[in-house]
Structure formats: C-alpha cells, structure tokens
Amino acid sequence: MKKGFYPKLAFEGIKKNRQMYLPYILTGSCMVMMYYILVFLYTSETVDKIAGSAALKDILELGGWVIAIFAVIFLFYTNSFLMKRRKKEFGLYNILGMGKRNIAVILFWESLITAAVSFAAGIVSGIVFSKLAELILIHIQNAEADYQFSVSLPAVGMTAAVFGVIFVLILLNSIRMIRFSSAIALLRSENTGEKPPKANWLIGILGIVVLVVAYYIAVTINNPVKAMTVFFIAVVMVIAATYMIMISGSVMFCRLLQKNKRYYYQSNHFVSVSSMVYRMKRNGAGLASICVLATMVLVMISTTVSLYFGGEDSVNNLYPRQIDMTFNIQEKERLSDEYVGTVRSDLTAFLKKYDVDPSNVIDYRRACSFGTMKDGRVELQPEIVLDDLSDEYYFYFVPINDYNRMTGADEILEKDEAVIYMADHEYDRDTISFDGGKDFKVKNPENSYEMISNDDSNIIPAVMVFVNDLEDVVSDMKELSCYWEYDFNTDLDSNAQTELAAKIRSEFCAESADKNDTHCVVDSKENARVEFFSIYGGMLFIGIMLSIVFIFAAVLIIYYKQISEGYEDQARFAIMQKVGMTKREIRRSINSQLLTVFFMPLIMAGTHLVFAFPMIKKMLLVFNMNNAALFAAVTGICFLAFALLYVLVYRITSNAYYQIVSGSKADS
C-alpha cells in the first residue's frame, strides 16, 4: 500500500468533517490550556511568595483535578458525536474491502492528528495566557506582581502525561465501537432513528417527587454545618431528578402538543414537533446536561464572587479590632479581678515599651459553654451537637463589672439576677435556669449589652449572660471554658500591626506563660485579611476558570446537538421543500422547534438556583459570609449575564441548524 495512505486518508476525513472536528479540537485545546495554566500556577515561584500560598495552592491543585476529570467525561462525550457522524463512512470502507484493522489504523492517525493539534494549540495558548492568569491571580490576592515571563516544563510534562492518557483511552473506545459493529450497522448508523418513545409517567412523577424533596431540604435546613454535607446529597438528587423530568417530561410535553390540533397542524409546528418526538429521549438527556452545567456555573460563580467581595465584611465581623488577644484560663479561680489585673498590667507595660497606646479596647472575662435552651431551662453539654439550631446556643457568662468598666455604665445586679442579651431577638422569660448550676431572675436591660468577640459565631447564635459574681457562678458548672478577652486598636499601619502581633505572640505570651501560667492566642485583623483573601481569592479564580470550562462545555453540547439534529432533519426538510415548503416557513419551523425546548434548561436552572439559595446562604455562614443582600444581587446579575450569553448561543446555533436543513446560508 502506498506510503502515507493512511495519514492522508485520516487528514481528508478530518477536513471533510471539519464542521464536527473543529469544535472537538477546540474543546481539547481549551481543556489542555486550562489544565496547563492551573499546573503552571501550582508550580509558580511567584505564587509561592503570596501570603497564604499553602491554602491557595491546595485550591489550585483541586481545580486541576476537577478539570482533568471533567476533560475525560466531556472529551468522550464530544467524541461520541464524531463517531456517530463517521460510522457510515467507515462502514463504506468495510464494504469496499477494508478490514477492521485498517480502519483502526485510520482511527489511530485521526486520533494522533487531533490529539497533536489539540495539545499543541492548548500548550501554546496556555503558555501565552499563563502569565495573564498569574497576574489576575496576584491582583485578586492584592499581592506584588512579577512581570518575568516563564515556561514551566514540569507543567508541560504533567499536561502531556494526563492528556496523552485521555486521548489513548478515547482511541481505544473508538476502535471498540468499530470492532463490535457490522458493516451494515455502520452504514445505517446515521439513519437509525429512535422508536417513538412512550411517555413514562412513572419516571416523570418520580423525578418530580425527588426534585420536590431536594427543594424541601434546601429550603428548610437551618444548620449551616449540616447544609455543607446535605448539599452534596441534594445536588445528586437534583441532577437525577433533572434527567428524569427532562427525558420523560419532554416526551409528555411533545405528546400534549401533538394532541393540541390547533397548535400541531400548523406549518411551522407540524414538522418541528414530529421531529422532536422521535428523538426526545436523547434530546431530553442533552437538555438535562445543559441545565446541570448551567446550574453549576451559576452556583459556582455567584458563591465565589460573593465570598470574595464580601471578604472585608467577614474580616470585620470576626475581628472588630486590629489586635485580638484571647487568654485561656485553665483554673476558674484565676478569673478573679486580682489575677486578670496582674496580667493586664504586664500587657500594658509591654505595649508601652513599643510606644503602643491601645484604643477602643474590648476587655472582659467570660466563661463559655455550648448548650440547648428550652422554656428557660439550659442544659450545658461537653461538646457541640448541632442537631437543631433553633435550640442550640453558645452561652457566655460575663461579669457586669467588666461591662461597666468598658462602657462607663453603672449597672448593678443582685447575686441572683442576670441580664440576658441575644443579638437576634429579646429573651422573653422572667427566669433562666442552668442544669448543674444557678437559677437567675432576668433583669430587663436598659442599655445595649452587645459585646463583640471573635468567638461570636454566625453559625450558632450567642447568648450573653451578665452576672454579678462570675467566680461564684462558674464554681458549680462543669462544662465551661474560661477566657479573658483583650482586643484593641492602634494608630499603626497594617505592616506594623502584623509585626506587633508577632512580637506579642513571641515575647509577651511566652513570658506570660512562664510567669502567670496563662496561654494566650494573638491574631491581627491584617493577618486575617491576608488569609481570608488568599482563600477566597483562590476560590474566585478557580470559580472563574471552571465556569469558563463549564460554559464552553454547555455551548459545545448545544452546538453538537443542533448540528447532529440538523443532519438528521435534512432529508425531512428537503422533502417538505419539494412539496412546497418555503425557506421562510423552514425558518419559522426551526424557531418553533428551538423555542419549544431550547429555553427549558435555562428556566429550570433558574428554578434550581432559586430553591438552592437558602441552603447556599446557610453554607456561606460557615465561611463567615452573612451578607444575604450581596449574595442575592450577585446571583441575580450572574443569572442575567448567563441568560444573555444563552440567547447569543441560541442565535448562532439556530443559524447553523438552518444552513444544514435548508441547504443555504441563513437569512440576514
């Protein structure tokens, strides 16, 4: 056989089917580029210099794995469209005497060409855009940029290894499909339609039930920690329900349209509905895939954008002062004014040595415990249970004298009296009783007793219990942890604040531990800000990258769906043109078909997003993000932007479909 015969045959096959192969190669190139960029950033020395780089690189590594796994799934999916289109050609080769081995050689060369082009284009694009991606990441992290261009050979090698394996697996799968198909089956593969599907009411109803249960879980769950775990269960339920409803529901929908004679027997509806009903099982699966990808994009981008732009609020909520000091007091007796006063004096002297004058000080002792409260009775527990947040609280016992000292107030409490402060609502009972502890008469507060501490969790509400004698109160209570909180502001800049926190940690805390047997934890708002934006910035960057990949995937699914259905419908529309159907009527029929089903994924994705909103809002509390208005605004903007993109894709793909079925270019 003539040298170069198989490579030439493979190249001609790709060239003749470029309408199908170009998007496939573009998909592979995009996946290679994205994967290279993430591995490049993971191995970048510039990223190593960013504060909080360890957490950031963990996020980048996770993002790389997600893209690699998604590339396997999606490249196999897009390759299935190619094989369906090429089977007739391979069947013809087989009839003309070419064996399955020879066809496998052609497939090898086609796979080699597409893989080489995809990898080369992806690597070149990745190298070109890797520096831009690095600068964007550095900008998000508010770090110092390095404008030196570089190529990461380890990233190139890792990308080549991962995608080499993927393309080999795709080749083996293609050979398997040809190997186990007869020549006649290959010839008829493109013309083999689906049998008229039956409307499976059971699957449709089951899908609706599963979806309603998932929505109910999302709307009713109140526990942010449980929301994190239940979320993945709900996601699986929603995905399964989406496929069941789209596949069976779309069939039922088309059947209902057929029964509506006034709608069905119109030139622009008759052909479109009759065509859809014969392939609605596959069509429904494609629509469900688009819906799932759209939902993933909307959830991912809205949450990561909200976390990033709400990061400053999260930092301020957790760290209301620049320097945060918490002293862990092991023995309850050391909650006394004398002992804490000694540590306070030592700290004041230490700060004075560095010319630091604390301002806006939070200075109070507290005994903390977790417990459940029902009907004014509190049961303290040794550990957090997180069963029902409506009954679970953190309880902070604070001496009224500390409150008076900070605020200049002159509140007086009797020994058996307490003031109860709850941020979200008023305590409406006259007494409060603690199991194994004290009973108190509740005195109505005349002032706001809000005391901000970095132990105030957004996940579990806090109850401030102001008492006359803290030492006496905690003496009979077992499940308590005792602390002295000292937070303050300074007139130092951000770098000096970080340095001061480090000095307090290394010098004063070590000295206090030896002298007073007191363990202290020191943090600064600036340190927290760096860590927060390192994590949230990394999540935003990965969210953007994965959203681009998923949007690209959704667009490709829509494109291949339209192209493959266009070739299937080409013969039908050709017959209709011969019996008098005009190109204008073809256009109207196409619009009718597309509008009937095309926007179903977008509408359903928007519905998923609405019902997922309460659960995601609860989950964001775990990340100390409680700005619901920001999250709602970002979600709405993301949906509108995605909807505009979806309409644009609709216009492009409808024109491609029209060109195929009409045999001419789209009308302007």
3-class SS string, 140-177: HCCCCCCCCCCCCHHHHHHHHHHHHHHHHHHHHHHHHH
Greatest alpha-carbon span in the chain: 105
C-alpha–C-alpha distance, residues 508 and 515, integer Å: 10
Same domain, 238 and 163: no
C-alpha–C-alpha distance, residues 423 and 403, integer Å: 16
C-alpha–C-alpha distance, residues 668 and 661, integer Å: 16
In a domain, 267, yes or no: yes
Same domain, 402 and 537: no
In a domain, 500, yes or no: no
pLDDT of residue 415: 86
C-alpha–C-alpha distance, residues 307 and 540, integer Å: 8
**Nearest alpha carbon to residue 577 among 487, 664, 448, 474:** 664
Cβ-Cβ contacts under 8 Å for 411 (sequence gap 6 or more): 400, 403, 404, 419, 446, 447, 466
- Cβ 468 vs Cβ 428: under 8 Å: no
Cβ-Cβ contacts under 8 Å for 310 (sequence gap 6 or more): 625, 627, 630, 631
Domain that holds residue 265: 199-320+528-668
pLDDT of residue 317: 81
C-alpha–C-alpha distance, residues 140 and 21, integer Å: 36
Same domain, 16 and 126: yes
Same domain, 61 and 185: yes
Other Cβ atoms within 10 Å of 19 Cβ, number: 15
**For 103, what's the count of Cα atoms within 13 Å in the CB-facing half-sphere?**
28
- Please tell me what DSSP assigns to residue 430: S
In a domain, 501, yes or no: no
Helix (H) or strand (E) holding 465: strand 462-467
Same domain, 316 and 331: no
In a domain, 465, yes or no: yes
pLDDT of residue 455: 45
pLDDT of residue 269: 57
C-alpha–C-alpha distance, residues 547 and 227, integer Å: 23
- Cβ 224 vs Cβ 459: under 8 Å: yes
Phi, psi of 368 (to 5 degrees): -115, 145
- Cβ 473 vs Cβ 467: under 8 Å: yes
Tokens of 582: 């005009």
In a domain, 71, yes or no: yes
Residue corresponding to tokens 């415990």: 369
β partners of residue 422: 463
Phi, psi of 330 (to 5 degrees): -75, -40
Tokens of 405: 């000292």
**Nearest alpha carbon to residue 460 among 426, 485, 423:** 423
Tokens of 137: 């990441």
Same domain, 336 and 312: no
Distance of CA 310 to the CA centre of its chain: 16
**Nearest alpha carbon to residue 380 among 430, 433, 333, 429:** 433
**Nearest alpha carbon to residue 271 among 19, 560, 582, 563:** 582
Same domain, 328 and 312: no
Fill in the amino acid letter for 326. Answer: T
In a domain, 497, yes or no: no
Same domain, 58 and 157: yes
pLDDT of residue 194: 47
* Radius of gyration from C-alpha coordinates of the chain: 33
In a domain, 511, yes or no: no
Q: Which of 472, 491, 510 is the last residue of a domain?
A: 491
Question: Tell me: the pLDDT tens digits for 120-177?
Answer: 999 999 999 998 888 888 888 777 767 778 888 999 999 999 999 999 999 998 888 8
C-alpha–C-alpha distance, residues 610 and 614, integer Å: 8
- E strands present in 543-599: none
Cβ-Cβ contacts under 8 Å for 614 (sequence gap 6 or more): 218, 219, 221
C-alpha–C-alpha distance, residues 508 and 343, integer Å: 10
C-alpha–C-alpha distance, residues 472 and 456, integer Å: 24
- Cβ 178 vs Cβ 186: under 8 Å: yes
Q: Which of 192, 215, 238 is the last residue of a domain?
A: 192
Q: Distances in Å between the alpha carbon of 375 and those of 201, 424, 427, 439? A: 49, 17, 11, 13
3 state SS of 91? helix
Encode burial over 274-295: b for 16+ CB neighbours within 10 A, e otherwise.
ebbbbbbbbbbebbbbbbbbbb
- Please tell me what DSSP assigns to residue 579: T
Same domain, 562 and 655: yes
Cβ-Cβ contacts under 8 Å for 186 (sequence gap 6 or more): 87, 88, 90, 91, 94, 178
Same domain, 130 and 2: yes
**Nearest alpha carbon to residue 639 among 604, 615, 614:** 604
Q: What is the pTM of this model?
A: 0.74
- Cβ 486 vs Cβ 344: under 8 Å: yes
pLDDT along the chain (668 residues), means of 10: 75 82 87 91 81 76 85 83 76 75 86 93 92 85 75 92 93 84 64 52 84 90 75 87 79 66 60 59 72 89 90 84 88 81 90 90 88 84 61 86 84 88 80 82 73 54 87 77 90 90 88 74 88 84 87 82 72 70 70 70 91 88 82 93 88 77 53
Domain count across the chain: 3
Instruction: For CA atoms 302, 305, 309, 310, give the dihedral sign.
Output: positive
Q: Which of 467, 491, 515 is the last residue of a domain?
A: 491
Phi, psi of 465 (to 5 degrees): -115, 105
In a domain, 508, yes or no: no
Other Cβ atoms within 10 Å of 549 Cβ, number: 24
Other Cβ atoms within 10 Å of 259 Cβ, number: 9
- Cβ 134 vs Cβ 47: under 8 Å: yes
Same domain, 360 and 450: yes
pLDDT of residue 265: 59
Write down how long the chain is: 668
pLDDT of residue 606: 92
pLDDT of residue 596: 62
Fill in the amino acid letter for 81. Answer: F
3 state SS of 122? helix
Same domain, 133 and 220: no
**Nearest alpha carbon to residue 129 among 64, 192, 38, 14:** 38
Distance of CA 96 to the CA centre of its chain: 52
Question: Tell me: the pLDDT tens digits for 304-339?
Answer: 999 888 888 888 888 889 999 998 887 777 788 888
pLDDT of residue 29: 92
